[in-house]
């Protein structure tokens, strides 16, 4: 999250307005790639459905190809066997891209600290937003999504 | 302890191979020698009075300090008679191996792969014995009692 | 041509890899790789006490977690020869059937979504939300509830549960009717599901398949009828049986099973026994620290007759309801919190059950307890060595043999048929890979 003071002093008005506009556009049109593995998937399905609607945030359409998505929702425990697949998917996404660690298994491993799990996906991909909970309630997910939107808005936008 | 019909028939037909027979918590258990596994299983499946048509479960237990170390446990079910039976086959430590039941029940294929993956017990005659729950680069058999739960062998990423 | 329907695929629910050899559109061979969600459930259970295993069992079949909870609890109770109070059995039946409803709703909703019927998915999840609200009012959580305990359940049903439950079931029935009208006679749905993914009864039995998958082939085996547990023998319900063993039969069997589950819940609510209620004659309520202080200062007259104010997370397990939901056993059930705060015997009992090294110690032995999970026979095989941690816990997952058979089911079908067939298997990766 950088606020470009130098830039706005030098080139001034246009860059900061462009940044704000791009940030606004990006945050309200999130194309998510839901990488769903485990129990958190059920809460993801609840969040995406009519009760706790994620569509009103502009994030309603999941794109099922990593080339077409910009936010990677990693939902559920990642095992050691699956980790190379996750990294491959992350690398296939085009910039700008963000990663949301959904559920405590992806944040820190949860209570699955054993030979078969990756304790936290930040060991293998860079993470922007952590949503803890086992599984997190849909309201928590929506708050995480709003934090992601704030982050997208305030970031220095690259073209 | 009243002997149910299953235990009686096993006792009659396989006297030399039976190591132990008991009924506890209303569940029949028979411990037999590993050399007689195929014959007992065929008998259970084909006998007209018993008709154990289901192989419900196939797993193993590691009794660490006891000899023989492993025990492969089979659960059978007869739908027609509503009988259940647990069959246990003790398997000794260096190179543990047991006959496969895939010729009688094709469902045993994946169960045996899982037991091989988790315990390292070989199944002679199995068509395709390879790891099923873990990746091929994994070394060791995690459900054995001497494998520590936190020993990771990551394909990528740090190991701690 | 070799095509990999890989672990991250939009239309597969759960992480599975299907390596197919295609000849044009026809699948010649399908090799299924599982294990992408192996989380070492069995190894974790070996180093946890019996009560600490319950959260791990929740996450096995995460769409119907209550059934796994109660299956594990019942297995340990068989080992310890505990008699659970009757009301508790009724509560277990009601919640198991609600869990079965959530499982079938998710299965049909997700498989319909894969075929393009997105509204059906939204309707099913809407109905599931009502059931989640019910479960939340009883257990405190929507999905991973850890509600079962050895010897009973954690807490009693809240006030007004019966009215809310009946209202939710009425609305669920309407949703099921709507979905029936949308899907059952639908030309597209019928053409995609009929005659696809066929399995015969002999093949299903040879693989060891149980549950709706088996019943759609014509063989009527249901653990609730064959080996009744809890109080299922007191209820009248039918076991729906299909004819052709294809995807469409499985869909019909699941829809009908949901109707039967609603029937069971309504009968259970009608017959729910009250159970003993222990109420103190002078029910004055004070805070626990105030009670401890009074005791320390020696002002103990009448202290035992006071009821202690316990925190809201323990609602439902107060002294009043304690005998309804916990077995009358000193070795297994925690005493009521009011007793623990007020007298030393209950405190020592509590200590002996909770502390590591003491705790719930079943006698040495082994037991296999089968319950009817949403996918089939869910069995727990527990080997106990007399200490407070199990020596071996094995969960027999109902979808494991189905996935083993899937390779041969897919042979001969077309590539696009993999999606509805896999949807009707209702594979839950948490249970399959444990």
> Mutate which of C16, C47, C56, C368 to test chain B, going by most B C-beta atoms within 10 A?
C368
Å between A77 CA and nearest CA of chain B: 15
Q: How many contacts (CB atoms, under 8 Å) link B and C?
A: 85
CA dihedral A23, A25, A31, A36 (to 10 degrees): 40
Tell me the percentage of chain C whose pLDDT exceeds 90.
46
Chain B hits for A118, Cβ within 8 Å: 154, 157
CA atoms within 13 Å, Cβ hemisphere of C273: 15
Q: How far is A148 from chain C (nearest CA, A)?
A: 24
CB contact under 8 A, A49 and C126: yes
Question: Could you tell me how far CA C50 lies from the centroid of its own chain?
Answer: 17
In angstroms, the separation between the Cα of residue C76 and the nearest Cα of chain B is 11
Report which of residues C324 and C98 the model is more confident about.
Answer: C98
Instruction: Indicate the pLDDT class of residue C135, thresholds 50, 70 and 90.
Output: very high
Torsion angle, CA of C315/C373/C42/C331, rounded to 10 degrees? 40
Q: What is the pLDDT of residue C165?
A: 94
- Contacts of residue A155, defined as CB under 8 A and 6 or more positions apart, other chains included, come to A1, A2, A23
Residue among B56, B73, B149 minimizing CB distance to C377? B56
Q: Is C125 on the interface with A (CB under 8 A)?
A: yes
pLDDT of residue B7: 85
pLDDT reported for residue B123 = 92
Residue range C401-426, pLDDT digits in tens: 999 999 889 988 888 888 889 988 88
Residue C119 sits at the chain A interface (C-beta within 8 Å): no
Average pLDDT for residues C28-45, to the nearest whole number?
91
More confident: C147 or A4 = C147
**Is the minimum CB–CB distance between B156 and chain A shorter than 8 Å?**
yes
- Which residues of chain A are within 8 Å of residue C113 when distances are taken between CB atoms? none
> Residue C195's pLDDT band (boundaries 50, 70, 90)?
confident
Query: For residues C315 and C140, is the Cβ–Cβ distance under 8 A?
Result: no
For residue C68, name the pLDDT band (cuts at 50, 70, 90).
very high
Touching subunits for chain B (3+ Cβ pairs under 8 A): A, C
Three-state SS annotation for chain C: CEEEECCCCCCCCCCCEEEEEEECCEEEEEEEECCCCCCCHHHHHHCCCCHHHHHHHHCCCCCCHHHHHHHHHHHHHHHHCCCCCHHHHHHHHHHHHHHHHHHHHHHHHHHHHHCCCHHHHHHHHHHHHHHHHHHHHHHCCCCCCCCEECCEECCCCCCCHHHHHHHHHHHHHHHHHHHHHHHCCCHHHHHHHCCCCCCCHHHHHHHCCCCHHHHCCCCCCCHHHHCCCCCHHHCCCCCCCCCCCCHHHHHHHHHHHHHHHHHHHHHHHHHCCCCCCCCCCCCCEECHHHHHHHHHCCCCCCHHHCEECCCHHHCCCCHHHHHHHECCCCCCCCCCHHHHHHCHHHHHHHHHHHCCCCCCCCCCEEEEEEEECCCCEEEEEEEECCCCCCCEEEEECCHHHHHHHHHHHHCCCEHHHHHHHHHHHCCCHHHHHC
pLDDT at B115: 93
pLDDT beyond 60 at C124: yes
CB of C7 within 8 Å of a chain A CB? The answer is yes
Per-residue confidence band for C177, with pLDDT thresholds at 50, 70 and 90: very high
Whether the pLDDT of residue A7 is over 70: the answer is no
More confident residue, C103 or C305: C103
Angle between the C86-114 and C118-139 helix axes, to the nearest 10 degrees? 160
Query: Which of B:115-134 have CB within 8 Å of A?
Result: 134
d(CA C68, CA C91): 15
Whole-structure pTM value: 0.91
The nearest alpha carbon in chain A to B135 belongs to A81
Average pLDDT, stretch C228-232? Answer: 90
Which string of DSSP letters, residue by residue, matches A91-158?
A: HHSPSS-EEEEESHHHHT-TT--STTB-S-GGGTS--SEEE-SSSPPHHHHHHHHHHHHHHHHHSPPP
* B5-19, C8-22, C82-96, range with greatest mean pLDDT: C82-96
Give the chain C residue whose CA is nearest to the CA of B103.
C206
Greater confidence (C347 vs C287) lies with: C347
Sheet containing B83-91: which strands, arranged edge to edge? Answer: B18-24, B27-32, B83-91, B70-78, B54-62
* Model pLDDT, residue C278: 59
Task: Assess C116–A contact: CB distance below 8 Å, yes or no.
Answer: no
What is the band of C25 on the pLDDT scale with cuts at 50, 70, 90?
Answer: confident
Lowest mean pLDDT among A115-129, B43-57, C7-21, C92-106: C7-21
- From chain A, the residues in CB contact with C168 under 8 A are none
pLDDT value of position C6: 83
Q: Which of A81, A87, A114 is the closest to B149 by Cβ?
A: A114
pLDDT for the residue numbered A12: 64
Say if the Cβ atoms of A77 and C6 lie within 8 Å.
no
Nearest to C15 among A37, A64, A114 (CB): A37
For an interface test with A, the pick among C35, C39, C54, C106 (most A C-beta atoms closer than 10 Å) comes out as: C39
Confidence of residue A61 (pLDDT cuts 50, 70, 90): confident
Chain B neighbors of A78, CB-CB under 8 A? none
On whether any CB of chain A is under 8 Å from the CB of B145, the answer is no
Lowest mean pLDDT among A90-104, C11-25, C302-316: C302-316
pLDDT of residue C279: 54
On whether any CB of chain A is under 8 Å from the CB of C6, the answer is: yes
| Mean pLDDT over the full length of chain A | 86
For residue C311, pLDDT beyond 80: no
Do B144 and B120 meet the contact criterion of CB atoms below 8 Å apart? yes
What confidence score (pLDDT) does residue B1 get?
44
C336 vs chain A: nearest CA distance in angstroms? 28
Coil, strand, or helix at residue A78?
coil
Whether the predicted pLDDT of C277 surpasses 70: no
Tell me whether residues C208 and B55 touch, CB distance under 8 A.
Answer: yes
- Which chain A residues are within 8 Å of C7, Cβ to Cβ? 82, 85
Residues of chain B in contact with residue A116, where contact means CB-CB under 8 angstroms, are: 134, 142
Cβ within 8 Å of B, A 118-137: 118, 123-124
Which of C140, C145, C429 to probe the A interface (max A CBs under 10 A)?
Answer: C429
Spell out the SS3 assignment of C342-353. HCHHHHHHHHHH
Mean pLDDT of C78-85: 87
Residue C7, pLDDT score: 86
Return the residue of B nearest to A117 by Cα: B152
Q: What is the pLDDT of residues A9-46, one digit of tens each?
A: 555 677 788 888 888 888 888 898 999 898 899 999 89
Bigger pLDDT: B157 vs A144: A144
pLDDT of residue A9: 52
Question: For residue C172, how far is the Cα from the chain centroid?
Answer: 19
Query: How wide is the angle at C-alpha C372 spanned by C-alphas C366 and C378, nearest 5°?
Result: 45
- Interface membership of C36 toward A (CB under 8 Å): yes
ipTM over 0.90: yes
CB contact under 8 A, B154 and A114: no
CA distances C30 to C3, C11, C92, Å, are 10, 17, 40
Long-range contacts of B104-107 (CB under 8 A, 24+ apart): B104/B38, B104/B41, B104/B42, B104/B45, B104/B55, B105/B45, B105/B55, B105/C206, B105/C207, B105/C208, B106/C206, B106/C207, B106/C404, B107/B55, B107/C206, B107/C207, B107/C208, B107/C209, B107/C401, B107/C404, B107/C405
Residues of C in contact with A116 (CB under 8 A): 38-40
| A151: Cα within 13 Å, side-chain hemisphere | 17
Mutate to test the interface with B, among A74, A79, A80, A106 (most CBs of B within 10 A): A80
pLDDT band at C217 (very low <50, low <70, confident <90, very high): very high
**Given an 8 Å threshold on Cβ–Cβ distance, is B107 in contact with C401?**
yes
Size of chain B, expressed as the number of residues it contains: 160
Calculate mean pLDDT across residues C365-369: 93
Q: Is the pLDDT of residue C28 over 80?
A: yes
| Out of C10, C39, C55, closest to residue A116 by CB | C39
Predicted confidence at residue A18, as pLDDT, reads 83
List all chains that touch chain A, counting a touch as 3 or more CB pairs closer than 8 Å. Answer: B, C
pLDDT band, residue C283 (cuts 50/70/90): low
A81 vs B: CB within 8 A: yes
Q: Which of B53, B55, B133 lies closest to C35 in CB terms?
A: B133
Q: Is C297 exposed, middle or buried (0-12, 13-18, 19+ CB in 10 A)?
A: exposed
Is A87 touching B (CB cutoff 8 A)?
Answer: yes
Query: pLDDT below 50 — which residues of chain B?
Result: 1
């Amino acid at each position: 999250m950088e606020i470009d003071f130098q830039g706005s002093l030098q080139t001034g008005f246009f860059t900061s307005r462009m940044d704000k506009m791009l940030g606004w556009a990006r945050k309200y049109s999130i194309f998510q790639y839901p990488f769903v593995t485990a129990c958190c998937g059920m809460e993801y399905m609840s969040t995406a459905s009519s009760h706790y609607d994620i569509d009103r945030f502009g994030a309603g359409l999941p794109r099922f190809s990593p080339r077409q998505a910009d936010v990677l929702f990693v939902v559920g425990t990642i095992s050691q066997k699956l980790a190379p697949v996750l990294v491959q998917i992350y690398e296939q996404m085009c910039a700008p891209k963000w990663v949301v660690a959904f559920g405590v298994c992806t944040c820190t491993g949860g209570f699955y600290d054993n030979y078969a799990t990756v304790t936290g996906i930040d060991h293998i991909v860079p993470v922007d937003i952590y949503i803890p909970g086992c599984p997190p309630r849909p309201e928590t997910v929506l708050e995480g999504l709003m934090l992601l939107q704030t982050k997208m808005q305030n970031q220095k936008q690259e073209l | 302890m009243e002997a149910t019909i299953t235990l009686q028939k096993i006792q009659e037909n396989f006297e030399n191979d039976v190591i132990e027979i008991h009924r506890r918590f209303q569940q029949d258990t028979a411990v037999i020698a590993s050399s007689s596994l195929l014959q007992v299983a065929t008998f259970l499946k084909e006998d007209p009075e018993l008709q154990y048509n289901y192989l419900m479960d196939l797993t193993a237990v590691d009794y660490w300090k006891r000899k023989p170390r492993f025990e492969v446990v089979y659960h059978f079910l007869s739908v027609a008679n509503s009988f259940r039976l647990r069959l246990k086959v003790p398997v000794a430590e260096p190179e543990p191996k047991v006959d496969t039941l895939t010729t009688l029940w094709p469902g045993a294929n994946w169960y045996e792969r899982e037991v091989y993956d988790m315990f390292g017990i070989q199944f002679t005659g199995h068509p395709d014995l390879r790891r099923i729950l873990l990746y091929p680069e994994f070394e060791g058999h995690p459900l054995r009692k001497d494998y520590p739960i936190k020993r990771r062998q990551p394909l990528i990423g740090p190991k701690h | 041509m070799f095509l990999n329907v890989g672990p991250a695929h939009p239309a597969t629910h759960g992480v599975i890899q299907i390596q197919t050899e295609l000849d044009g559109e026809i699948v010649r061979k399908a090799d299924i790789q599982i294990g992408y969600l192996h989380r070492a459930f069995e190894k974790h259970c070996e180093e946890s006490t019996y009560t600490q295993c319950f959260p791990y069992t929740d996450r096995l079949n995460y769409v119907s977690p209550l059934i796994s909870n109660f299956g594990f609890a019942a297995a340990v109770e068989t080992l310890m020869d505990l008699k659970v109070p009757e009301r508790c059995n009724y509560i277990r039946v009601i919640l198991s059937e609600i869990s079965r409803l959530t499982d079938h709703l998710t299965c049909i909703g997700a498989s319909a979504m894969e075929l393009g019927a997105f509204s059906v998915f939204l309707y099913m999840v809407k109905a599931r939300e009502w059931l989640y609200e019910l479960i939340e009012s009883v257990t405190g959580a929507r999905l991973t509830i850890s509600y079962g305990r050895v010897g009973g359940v954690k807490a009693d049903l809240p006030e007004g549960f019966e009215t809310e439950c009946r209202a939710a079931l009425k609305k669920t029935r309407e949703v099921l009717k709507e979905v029936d009208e949308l899907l059952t006679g639908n030309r597209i749905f019928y053409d995609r599901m009929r005659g696809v993914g066929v399995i015969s009864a002999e093949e299903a039995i040879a693989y060891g398949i149980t549950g709706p998958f088996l019943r759609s082939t014509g063989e009527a085996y249901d653990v609730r009828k064959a080996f009744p547990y809890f109080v299922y023998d007191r209820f009248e319900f039918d076991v729906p049986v299909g004819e052709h063993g294809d995807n469409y039969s499985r869909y019909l069997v699941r829809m009908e099973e949901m109707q039967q589950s609603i029937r069971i819940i309504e009968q259970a609510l009608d017959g729910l026994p009250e159970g003993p209620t222990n109420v103190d004659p002078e029910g004055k309520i004070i805070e626990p620290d105030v009670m401890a202080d009074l005791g320390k200062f020696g002002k103990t007259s009448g202290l035992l007759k006071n009821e202690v104010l316990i925190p809201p997370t323990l609602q439902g397990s107060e002294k009043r309801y304690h005998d309804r939901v916990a077995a009358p056993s000193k070795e297994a059930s925690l005493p009521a919190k009011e007793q623990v705060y007020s007298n030393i015997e209950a405190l020592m009992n509590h200590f002996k059950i909770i502390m590591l090294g003491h705790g719930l110690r079943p006698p040495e032995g082994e037991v296999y307890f089968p319950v009817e999970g949403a996918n089939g026979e869910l069995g727990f095989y527990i080997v106990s060595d007399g200490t407070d941690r199990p020596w071996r816990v094995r969960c027999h997952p109902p979808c494991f043999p189905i996935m083993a058979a899937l390779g041969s089911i897919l042979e001969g079908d077309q590539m696009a048929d993999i999606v509805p067939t896999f949807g009707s298997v209702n594979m839950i990766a948490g249970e399959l890979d444990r």
